[in-house]
Amino acid sequence: MQVTSSVREPLVTGGKTYHDVTQDVSRQVEGKPSIAWFLAFLTAAGVLALGFIALAATLWEGIGMWGLNKTIGWAWDITNFVWWVGIGHAGTLISAVLLLFRQKWRTSINRAAEAMTIFAVICAAMFPVIHMGRPWIGAYWALPLPNTFGSLWVNFNSPLLWDVFAISTYFSVSLVFWYIGLIPDFATIRDRATGLRKTIYGALSFGWDGAAKSWMRYESVSLILAGLATPLVLSVHTIVSFDFATSVIPGWHTTIFPPYFVAGAIFSGFAMVLTLMIITRKVFKLEDYITMGHIELMNIVIIITGSIVGIAYITEFFIAWYSGVEAEQYAFINRATGPYWWAYWSMMTCNVISPQLFWIKKIRTSIVATFILSLVVNIGMWFERFVIIVTSLHRDYLPSSWAMFYPTWADVGVYLFTFGLFFTLFFLFAKFFPVINMAEVKSVLKSSSEKVAK
């Protein structure tokens, strides 16, 4: 029996029936793409093409094209890597952790958030691969492959290697999780289609028939995958933070890094989900599915994780002083007042102060304010990684080696390339795949639509 609460806000508004859900979501897969979509897609593809010039130059000439020097051996590349991986945390968090917590509101946003995760992880993985300099033989450095250079294996003591395993596992498990969810929806589109589309979506749907037995297994698989993905998503950014935390560099060598990185990842991931969702719901007219309630709940997650990140910054500062280690103290004072003070204070403003505005109900229920703040958060999170990486490295132990980092056009171009890639993939997804999980929305419809509940 279904209990309808008069106090709870409905998850889906507009009194939708089951058929309405099918209709609303399948419509943009079946219809001709709109002019707005074409413009957006061409812009993204243009950025991709432009960025490719920088990527090709980097691959041809080597990473000397970047602004790195002997003091700052990691800069934009790793900053972008950590930033994209962080963004890639929201999707699996929404679909896995919220599934375990039985948060039914996730059903209308999980599909697009997972897609975003997968594309963000692809963008992230580009950077370590390019940074290898000669990626075509990179597999020997990254994977334990038998080789003729001697039976020399990869170093399992290195966090960089753990990262290879963490990121690739995360990518493949997220991809599988996402695809399993897509199968019933592809079947819905298949059963509405004729001709070539029926053949294509028929193959994509893997012959799904919606039998009760298949649904039982589907639910079982979703639950176990969620259970596996939850520690996985936490492990990925933990391991990313080990890249820094295990190095003996002032500002990196701290035990606070794993939880602090994970909170930051969720923070930036939710911000990116909001950026994309606000556009998607508008363009595809899905306001009844991605409601103000969803936006508000995501904003609340942003306040919480933003506050955790803020406390982490302050704790870090305090511990640097309290440790009595001079190098550590200097690193932190230098962050706030040294030549990179502008990066530090951009990070503080964007990540610590601006999300606190969401305490005001008017702001967290305003589309425009949410959209702007979601961009601000992602800018802040990019600066956070830049601050951690570049300001810790640029003052070497030897003052004669002190240096500054200046990005070249190739640094900027490769970053642009990943933006182009991310949005090109996302726009293709939004056009050809159902952006909302129809089957799961239908399963929560009864408690939220009076037309269906009767």
Partner 1 sequence: MERDKHFILGVFDDEDVLLHAVKDVRSSGVKIHEVYSPYPVHGLDEELGYRRSRLPIAAFLFGLLGTSLALTMQFYMMKFDWPMIIGGKDYAAFPDFIPVTFEMTVLLASFGMVGVFMVSSNLKPWAQPRIFDLRSTDDKHIMAIDIANNSSMEQDKIREVLKSSGATEVNDKSFDE
* Among 162, 252, 257, 358, interactor with partner 1 by CB under 8 A: 162
Binds partner 1 (CB under 8 A): choice among 191, 282, 317, 349: 191
Segment near partner 1 (CB under 8 A); pick from 36-44, 71-79, 91-99, 226-234: 226-234
**Could you tell me which stretch among 13-21, 269-277, 317-325, 376-384 binds partner 1 (CB under 8 A)?**
13-21
**Which helix (H) or strand (E) is 77 found in, with range?**
helix 76-87
**Whether 225 contacts 177, CB under 8 Å:** yes
Count the alpha carbons within 13 Å of 290 in the hemisphere toward its beta carbon: 27
Exactly one of 39, 129, 224, 404 binds partner 1 (CB under 8 A); that residue is: 224
Q: Which stretch binds partner 1 (CB under 8 A): 235-243, 342-350, 413-421, 422-430?
A: 235-243
Which residue from 213, 342, 362, 368 is in contact with partner 1, where contact means CB under 8 A? 213
Main-chain phi, psi angles of 11, to 5 degrees: -75, -35
CB of 215 to partner 1, least distance (A): 4
CA count, 13 A, side-chain hemisphere, 103: 18
**Contacts with partner 1: how many residues (CB under 8 A)?**
66
**Measured from the CB atom, is 205 or 378 closer to partner 1?**
205
Closest Cα partner for 41 from 444, 402, 412, 429? 429
- Site membership for partner 1, residue 242 (CB under 8 A): yes
Six-digit token pair at 4? 């309808």
**Contact (Cβ atoms closer than 8 angstroms) between residue 437 and residue 108:** yes
Q: Report which of 128, 166, 131 is spatially closest to residue 265, judged by C-alpha positions.
A: 166
Give CA 73 to chain center in angstroms. Answer: 25
Stretch that binds partner 1, among 121-129, 224-232, 282-290, 322-330 (CB under 8 A): 224-232
Q: What residues from 379 to 438 belong to the interface with partner 1 (CB under 8 A)?
A: 438
> CB of 152: closest distance to partner 1 in angstroms?
6
Instruction: Tell me how far CA of residue 93 lies from CA of 159, 234, 300, 355, 392, in angstroms.
Output: 23, 9, 15, 20, 30
Q: Which is nearer to partner 1, 1 or 368 (CB)?
A: 1
* 218, 358, 386, 426: residue in contact with partner 1 (rule CB under 8 A): 218
> For residues 270 and 90, is the Cβ–Cβ distance under 8 A?
yes
Examine residue 443 and tell whether it contacts partner 1 (CB under 8 A).
yes
204 part of the interface to partner 1, by CB under 8 A? yes
Distance CA 397, CA 250 (A): 9
Among 214, 307, 315, 365, binds partner 1 (CB under 8 A): 214
Shortest reach from residue 64's CB to partner 1, in Å: 29
- Tell me how far, at minimum, the Cβ of 427 lies from partner 1, in Å: 25
Residue 402: CA atoms inside 13 Å, Cβ hemisphere, count? Answer: 8
According to CB under 8 A, which one of 37, 74, 165, 432 is a site residue for partner 1? 165
Task: Indicate which single residue of 71, 169, 329, 408 sits in contact with partner 1 (rule: CB under 8 A).
Answer: 169
Q: Does residue 192 interact with partner 1 by CB under 8 A?
A: yes
**Interface region with partner 1, contact rule CB under 8 A, candidates 68-76, 181-189, 351-359, 416-424:** 181-189
Please give the Cα distance from 260 to 50 (Å, whole number): 35
* Window 102-161: residues binding partner 1 (CB under 8 A): 144, 150-153, 155-157, 159, 161
Cβ proximity to partner 1: between 11 and 48 the closer is: 11
* Residue 441 burial (CB count, 10 A): 25
At 375 the three-state DSSP class reads helix
366 binds partner 1 (CB under 8 A): no
Q: Which of 263, 377, 298, 264 is nearest to 108 (CA)?
A: 298
Rounded CA gap, 29 and 23, in Å?
A: 10
Nearest to 344 by CA among 356, 331, 357: 331
212 is a site residue for partner 1 (CB under 8 A): yes
Q: How far is CA 78 from CA 11, 116, 142, 393, 410, in A?
A: 39, 20, 16, 13, 14
Considering the complex, what minimum distance in angstroms separates the CB of residue 139 from partner 1? 16
- What is the C-alpha to C-alpha distance for residues 258 and 316, in angstroms, rounded to an integer? 13
Confirm if 174 and 91 have CB atoms less than 8 A apart.
Answer: yes
100 or 176: CB nearest partner 1 = 176
Q: Site residues (CB under 8 A) for partner 1? A: 1-2, 17-19, 22, 144, 150-153, 155-157, 159, 161-162, 165-166, 169, 172-173, 176-177, 180, 183-184, 187-188, 190-192, 203-204, 206-221, 224-225, 228-229, 231-232, 235, 239, 242, 438-440, 442-443, 446, 454
